[in-house]
Amino acid sequence: MTSTERKLPSLGETYSTLAGFAKASGCSRLSVVIDQGGEVADAVAVYDPADQSLEINEGDEQRHIPFDENLAATTPIGEVHVHVMPPFSVDLELGEITGALGGLEHLARALIALADLFGGSSIAIGSFTTDIGTELELGARSDGEVGIHCGGVDFETPPQWPPG
């Protein structure tokens, strides 16, 4: 392996990593866009905590993997410190999100760390419960860039947010 190549996680490692994060964070859906490096198209892994399934999309290939005890027992590529947050209160007209003190920042930092586990310029996206019945989506890159979306509204974040 050259210095520019890196080891990509196995299916089992991807499954167990996403399942562990989803359980610890309480998210309703978790996706990772996995940077595979070079000229290879990114892979998208989507974990559904409701049925514990994983969907993998690589180029034109799509695979649905139902819950599998062997995959679930695989050692994850790493663990991220994350806690379940109570539902966020969202006012789409005012563009405000409120919740547990530091809760949104905590989840953003955790998603940054999750994206970092997958390496390169991977992106982690989690969906979380709100009081308006629309999921709050947080997306994060390992470089710290974070996006927040809910109900058709993109929320702006200040520079260098979340704080380290």
Domain of residue 19, residue span:
11-155
Query: Is 100 contained in some domain?
Result: yes
Residue 5 lies in a domain: no
The SS3 call for residue 150 is: strand
Q: Is residue 2 part of a domain?
A: no
Tell me the residue type at 111: L
Decide if 160 is inside a domain. Answer: no
Q: Looking at the domain assignment, is residue 1 inside a domain?
A: no
Long-range Cβ pairs for the range 93-99 (8 Å, 24+): 95/153, 95/155, 95/156, 97/136, 97/148, 97/150, 97/155
- What pLDDT is recorded for position 8? 79
Q: What is the pLDDT along the chain (164 residues), one digit of tens a residue?
A: 333 455 679 999 999 999 999 999 999 999 999 998 888 889 999 999 999 999 999 989 999 999 999 999 999 999 999 999 999 999 999 999 999 999 999 999 999 999 999 999 999 999 999 999 999 999 999 999 999 999 999 999 988 899 87
Number of domains in the chain: 1
The predicted structure's pLDDT at residue 4: 47
pTM here is 0.93
Asked, for residue 162, whether it belongs to a domain, the answer is no
Domain annotation covers residue 6: no
Which element (helix H / strand E) includes 17?
helix 11-25
CB 15 within 8 A of CB 65: yes
> Across the strands, what pairs with 131?
none
Q: What angle do CA 94, 95, 99 make, to 5 degrees?
A: 105
Closest residue by Cα to residue 6 from 121, 125, 140, 124: 121
Which helix (DSSP H) or strand (DSSP E) does residue 63 occupy?
Answer: strand 61-65
